[in-house]
Structure 1
Amino acid sequence: MSLALALVTGAAAVAWWGPAALRWCFRHVADPVAMLLGWLGLLVAMIATFLLATVMLLAPGSTRQWALHDLARVCWHWAQPSRPAAVDEVVGAVGALLLLTVLARFTMTCTQRAYRAHRARRAHADLLTLAGGPPASGEAVLWIPHPTPMAYSIGGSRGLTVLASAAGDLPAEQLAAVLSHERAHLRERHHLLVGAVEGLAAAVPWLPLTRQAPSAVRLLVELRADAAAVRECGPSAVRDALLTFAGAPHPPSALSMAGAEVAIRLQRLQGYRPDRRNVLARAALASATLAAPLVVGVAAGILFCL
């Protein structure tokens, strides 16, 4: 088994079985940041491994002679019309075409999402301007008339939090928890993160890893925002706010107070402990997921050659 084929095997293995491993980790790791690093690390590693394998297959000569500085020689080698293509080069060409197709679909999907988000942001910003603009503190909060308690945030360079007028009747601690939750989304750019994985899922819907990443990342960013709100307002206030805002409508590009897996978030709040930051878990998950395709591919190559 060539090194390129081993890398493809590793990338395919983590694409199919990686989500199951990450779900197992989710049951044992309380830190949402560690799990976010795990999902993002596995996505990046899978794409980078497949890209590296494709370049190696397209490289002239055997993979033992391949080096990064030979990229110009690859282009010259392929430009010669009289040379018949080898099998590995045909496979590499198919892989390159697949990568270009995925890149095109990803770019188109993200562009469409960004345009819709920009329109929603402009519409909310216009309403905020008509309402008198943000307060002197600079925190942009838009109150809209609505009988149902709603709370969501709109991302962007000038993100804002949107609250329904019905939320004004809530206890002060619940309202503070909601505002803290949405501020965490805006501060940590969760909207960009969710948009990126949803764009990748639209570009590569046939892989379990990319298909399941959006729902997992949405849940994890909500858990992260819940943790920020708990540090400021306490778990009881966040729990009551989740129950109050559960099922409230919100725009597709927004992140809502109770927009993902409320039952799981309530369960995590029941066993909440003040200090859940685990640097070791974050480093371990990030390192393991980044190395997973290479490790699996090398192991498959060794087993195949035995």
Structure 2
Amino acid sequence: MSLDPLTVAAWVLAALAVILAWPAPVLLSRAQWPRRSPASAMILWQAIGLAGGLSMIGAMLTWGLAPLGSNIFSASHRLIDIVFFNAPIGGLRFWHAFALSAAGLLGAHLLFTLLLTYVRIQRQRGRHRELLLLLSSPSAEQPGTVVINHRMPVAYCLPGGARSVTVLSDGLLELLKPEELRAVLTHENTHLTQRHHLLLWAFAAWKSALPWLPTSKLAQRSVNELIEMLADDAALTVVSEPVLVRSIALVASGSLEGSSHAVPLEGFDTEATTASRIQRLINPEPPLSTPLQALVLAASVLLLAAPTALLVLPALG
């Protein structure tokens, strides 16, 4: 007995969703090559997240629509007739209706969580910015930088468009030499200019939407480590590796004793992340070759194209 195109697409999408929800993130998080080319790895992580969500929703959607037509467009049109114009339900059964409801609920849940996470982060930033207005003073030497009266070494950035600032503590300024301060400022400004907070927002929303999925937390931790490495690479363009290592160690000394570092509210810089960053700088490895980076980019594009094609191609048959 031959299966209809939508049923085949549903099974393939379900298999792809399982792969992207578990083995793919685990393997990528354990791989060593991302620290050699963090930008390429970041693109791949985004592709896994987007393709995984689309595959989960697409699998349920195509399974639910399978009895209603040979492709997603004609089946959707018939579903509209059933819901709004009392057309005959034909081969639509309970499990098909359940799959359609689950697809709609999951899609709405992901979008709502993304919006809710954005609102929560904006409120936290707003409260944080109000505190900074009271507890900090603008830096006379560095534009876009404020200084707080704190004995521990603290450095982080607070995104906010034109109101974005880099925050340093008195304690850190007393410890840093001019070159080390330059490294810290370049690192934190890179978080702002490359808009790393948007990446953290997306993966924080993924973790909030699917907390039962262990790899959502794994992905958030890996992405945070990668953005730190991207900022380190930017700092290496203005200072030497030993200078950057010293600056990381000094800032981390404050983080380990309870101070914030990196991008507050959305990100986190653990001992493991700091150790990985320093190890990467002490024992540098060459970046991935151009062909390998192209291969990673091609894999990312294919991951995004696969679920889209499985949804659209049956309509062309």
Letter in 1 for 2:128: A
In the alignment, is the contact (CA less than 8 A) between 1:242 and 1:257 conserved in 2? no
Write the mapping of 1:119-198 to structure 2, written as runs, cut at 5 A: 119-125=127-133, 131=137, 133=138, 139-157=143-161, 158-169=163-174, 170-198=176-204
- C-alpha deviations, 1:111-166, integer Å up to 9, x for none? 212211222134325655xx3x56698x3111111111111111120211111112
Greater CA deviation, 258-267 or 185-194? 258-267
Q: Kindly tell me: are residues 55 and 257 of structure 1, through their superposed partners in 2, closer, same or farther at Cα, counting changes over 3 Å? A: closer
1:206 alignment partner in structure 2: 212
1:261 to 270, 273, 276: 273
* Residue 48 of structure 1 pairs with residue 54 of structure 2: yes
Greater CA deviation, 142-151 or 91-100? 91-100
Q: Kindly tell me: are residues 21 and 241 of structure 1, through their superposed partners in 2, closer, same or farther at Cα, counting changes over 3 Å? A: same
In the alignment, is the contact (CA less than 8 A) between 1:60 and 1:74 conserved in 2? no
Write the mapping of 1:72-151 to structure 2, written as runs, cut at 5 A: 72-79=77-84, 80=86, 83=89, 85-86=92-93, 87-125=95-133, 131=137, 133=138, 139-151=143-155
In the alignment, is the contact (CA less than 8 A) between 2:60 and 2:103 conserved in 1? yes
TM normalised by structure 1 equals 0.82
Query: 5+ residue gaps in structure 2?
Result: 1-6, 310-317
2:295 alignment partner in structure 1: 284
2:29 alignment partner in structure 1: 23
- C-alpha deviations, 1:77-125, integer Å up to 9, x for none? 3333763732334323223223323333333233212211222134325
How far did 1:197 drift?
0.6
Identity of aligned residues (%): 23
1:303 alignment partner in structure 2: none
Query: 5+ residue gaps in structure 1?
Result: 299-306
1:250 alignment partner in structure 2: 260
Q: Kindly tell me: are residues 295 and 81 of structure 1, through their superposed partners in 2, closer, same or farther at Cα, counting changes over 3 Å? A: closer
2:283 alignment partner in structure 1: 271
In the alignment, is the contact (CA less than 8 A) between 2:44 and 2:297 conserved in 1? yes
In the alignment, is the contact (CA less than 8 A) between 1:181 and 1:257 conserved in 2? no
2:231 alignment partner in structure 1: 225
Take 1:98 and 1:211, find their aligned partners in 2: how far apart are those partners? 19
In the alignment, is the contact (CA less than 8 A) between 1:153 and 1:255 conserved in 2? no
- C-alpha deviations, 1:167-192, integer Å up to 9, x for none? 22221111111111101111101112
Letter in 1 for 2:287: R
Q: Kindly tell me: are residues 278 and 123 of structure 1, through their superposed partners in 2, closer, same or farther at Cα, counting changes over 3 Å? A: farther
Greater CA deviation, 167-176 or 248-257? 248-257
Greater CA deviation, 88-97 or 14-23? 88-97
1:238 alignment partner in structure 2: 244
- C-alpha deviations, 1:55-81, integer Å up to 9, x for none? 323436456x21447644432233337
Greater CA deviation, 207-216 or 227-236? 207-216
Take 1:230 and 1:256, find their aligned partners in 2: how far apart are those partners? 22
2:4 alignment partner in structure 1: none
SS at match of 1:83: coil
SS at match of 1:2: helix
Take 2:58 and 2:26, find their aligned partners in 1: how far apart are those partners? 25
SS at match of 1:210: helix
How far did 1:262 drift?
0.8
How far did 1:255 drift?
5.7
Aligned residues: 291
TM normalised by structure 2 equals 0.79
SS at match of 1:232: coil
1:301 alignment partner in structure 2: none
How far did 1:48 drift?
1.8
Q: Kindly tell me: are residues 213 and 292 of structure 1, through their superposed partners in 2, closer, same or farther at Cα, counting changes over 3 Å? A: same
SS at match of 2:265: coil
